[in-house]
């Protein structure tokens, strides 16, 4: 069995902006609140962190800030995947060198690699890494799906230890569990499927919801493992309207609006993302009030 990077919930952190630049003061406050709230791990510069709009220098600086701020209190997973594999290798080497605990490797987007191409690409990045690598399957964004059989091949690599599954396809996730066994951990990439993925042997979730509710998202997982299935399922269903609202527009548009409403940052995004539709924002805030995040 390979070493597990984390169990429970890892937050796919937003990247706060102010006056068009990364707001490190806000980022630091978010990281501290996450750790104090009981989060199990942090993901710097994933999809939720608006990685595609960060320059190379910003991307590296944000990951380094997160690693330094976390200071070993929780694992930090760096988003280092790209459709440019040579860049992904360079970025992975950098993040290994500065102390990130693991890498998150999204499938090459827009290129739409074949399964052979995925195997060769992920292998090349993992060969260059000195830290564990988590594959990231999100075909709705990338136009490319990692087949379970491809996961099974990649699971034989020493440093490919897990997959974040955001395909939404529970049958596919079951197949991954069957084919990979204990050679590859599975994390839910969808907040509305945490309990279903745990029921298939998943080790947790890489979450957007936990930006707002770090402790509660982690607790949902741990209640499940403690055998308190009804309580865990109740949390999953109670938070479902909020999860739906957080994905009512392209992520992280709603997450940014929510975190701004909680006072963590400005509601500032980089194009092509824009601020949230007002009716959808009102619904988001109503869902936040319902779970006690905002005052009535």
Instruction: Indicate the DSSP class of residue 116.
Output: H
Q: Is 136 one of the catalytic residues?
A: yes
For residue 264, give the 3-state DSSP assignment: coil
Answer for the pair 157, 183: CB distance below 8 angstroms, yes or no: no
- Cβ neighbors of 231 (< 8 A, separation 6 or more) are 223
Q: Six-digit token pair at 141? A: 């964004």
Catalytic residue among 27, 136, 187, 224: 136
Question: Residue 149, Cβ neighbours under 10 Å: how many?
Answer: 13
> Which residue, among 234, 197, 235, 229, has the nearest Cα to 213 in the 3D structure?
235
Using alpha carbons, list the distances in angstroms from residue 286 to 18, 178, 266, 267: 26, 40, 20, 17
65 in active site = no
Which of the following is catalytic: 60, 64, 69, 164? 164
Is residue 47 within 8 A of residue 83, CB to CB? The reply is no
What residues are labeled active site?
136, 164
């Amino acid at each position: 069995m390979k070493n597990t990077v984390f169990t429970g919930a890892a937050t796919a952190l937003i990247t706060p902006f102010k006056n068009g630049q990364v707001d490190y003061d806000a980022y630091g406050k978010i990281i501290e609140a996450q750790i104090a709230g009981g989060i199990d791990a942090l993901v710097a510069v994933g999809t939720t962190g608006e990685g595609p709009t960060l320059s190379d220098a910003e991307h590296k600086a944000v990951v380094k800030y997160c690693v330094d701020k976390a200071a070993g209190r929780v694992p930090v997973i760096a988003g280092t995947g790209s459709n440019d594999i040579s860049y992904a290798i360079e970025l992975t080497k950098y993040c290994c060198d500065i102390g990130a605990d693991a890498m998150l490797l999204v499938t090459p987007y827009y290129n739409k690699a074949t399964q052979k191409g995925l195997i060769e690409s992920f292998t090349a990045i993992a060969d260059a890494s000195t830290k564990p690598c988590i594959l990231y399957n999100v075909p709705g964004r990338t136009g490319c799906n990692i087949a379970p059989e491809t996961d099974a091949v990649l699971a034989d690599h020493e440093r490919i230890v897990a997959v974040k599954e955001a395909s939404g396809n529970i049958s596919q996730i079951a197949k991954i569990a069957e084919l990979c066994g204990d050679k590859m951990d599975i994390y839910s990439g969808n907040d509305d499927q945490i309990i279903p993925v745990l029921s298939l042997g998943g080790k947790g979730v890489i979450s957007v919801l936990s930006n707002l509710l770090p402790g509660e998202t982690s607790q949902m997982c741990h209640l499940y493992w403690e055998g308190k299935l009804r309580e865990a399922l109740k949390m999953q269903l109670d938070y479902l309207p909020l999860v739906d609202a957080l994905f009512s527009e392209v992520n992280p548009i709603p997450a940014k609006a929510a975190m701004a409403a909680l006072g963590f940052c400005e509601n500032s995004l980089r194009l092509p993302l824009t601020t949230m539709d007002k009716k959808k924002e009102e619904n988001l805030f109503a869902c936040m009030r319902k779970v006690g995040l905002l005052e009535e």
